[in-house]
Amino acid sequence: MLHKKEFTKSLDKLGLERLRVKMVINKGELSDLVFQYESFINGHWEEIVRYDIAHGFFHRDFINAKGEKEKVRIEIQDLKTAATFAEQDIKDKWEFYKSKYIKTIKKK
């Protein structure tokens, strides 16, 4: 049986930084995932970092202000470990990722 879960978690007290999570569970096993850091900038939500398994491998995309993606492949043993890694990385480093994103706005 296929189950889809989607939810957001606030990363800051003002609710302007969030983690968006999408997971697909098939027969009790995680079969797809997206962990995405989004920031509310200039009146709308901007995606800044996304972990997923699109293209057939686990990776992180850093999305700059122009929408260009910087892809980094991450070798990891299974999707459960990948999910834990992605969530923890975003929780630990969202301020760094936002600062990096803000620098790309200035270069537009």
pLDDT tens digits along 39-91: 999 999 999 999 999 888 999 999 999 999 999 999 999 999 999 999 999 99
Q: Which residues contact 23 (CB under 8 A, 6 or more apart)?
A: 4, 5, 6, 30, 32, 33, 34, 83
The number of folded domains in the chain is: 1
pTM of the model: 0.92
**106 falls in which pLDDT band (50, 70, 90)?**
confident
* Domain range enclosing 101: 2-106
